[in-house]
Structures are given as C-alpha cells and as structure tokens.
Amino acid sequence: MKMKLFTLFMAVSFVLAACGGNNESKESNTDGQTTAKDGEEIYQQNCTGCHGKDLAGSSAPSLKEVGGKYDEKEIKDIVVNGRGGMPGNLVKKDEAEAIAKWLSKKK
C-alpha cells in the first residue's frame, strides 16, 4: 500500500512539474526590446479605464487616429509627462515607449 501511495505521489508531482508556468516577461521580446504587441498589452492594462478598450475614449479623448496627429516621440512625451487631465508617470518609461510605438501606427 505504501508503495502505491508513493508511486501516486511521484506521478502527481511529475505532472504538476511538467505543467509549470512560463516565467518570461511579457514586456520584452527575446532581444530585450519592447514591441508594438507589448504596447497594446500595456495599453490594455493601464489606459482602457479612460481611453476605452477600443481607443474610442470615454472620460479621455479617443486615440483611434492619434498617430495621424502626433508622431511617436510626441506620444511618448504625453504618456510620460501627461497632458490636460491626464497625469504623467502612469507607466514606466520603457512601457511608455512601447505604447507610443503602438499608438503612432493608429492613423
């Protein structure tokens, strides 16, 4: 009986170890650079409360065509420093770069 219990314990331990999570950061790709995909993820985690999931805006302006109005550098500056009712420093600077890269393509 003890041997069956031990075997069951080992089998369960093996299965759980094989199902371990991926501990890689989602904020950067393999060469350490943030990507536009990351920018979208960071936006979804931090900006949708005011700008909406679909960029249409709610309590803040729409960002659907923000890339046609501002370039990537200007967008990053707004994200980092804030503007109007938007406070600055809501995300880290590398996250601001990723968001700006992604939003600059929205034209």
- What domain range is 105 assigned to? 34-107
Residue ranges of the annotated binding site for heme c are: 47, 50-51, 86
Residue 4 lies in a domain: no
35 and 98 Cβ atoms separated by less than 8 Å: yes
Report yes or no on 3 lying in a domain. Answer: no
Q: What is the pLDDT of residues 70-107, one digit of tens each?
A: 999 999 999 999 999 999 999 999 999 999 999 999 99
Q: Residue ranges for the binding site?
A: 47, 50-51, 86
- CATH number of residue 105's parent domain: 1.10.760.10
Strand-pair partners of 87: 82
DSSP assignment, residue 34? -
Q: Confirm whether 14 is domain-assigned.
A: no
From the centroid of its chain, how far is CA 33? Answer: 13
Residue 40 inside a domain? The answer is yes
The number of domains in the chain is: 1
What is the tens place of the pLDDT at every residue in 10-36?
A: 666 655 655 544 444 444 454 556 666
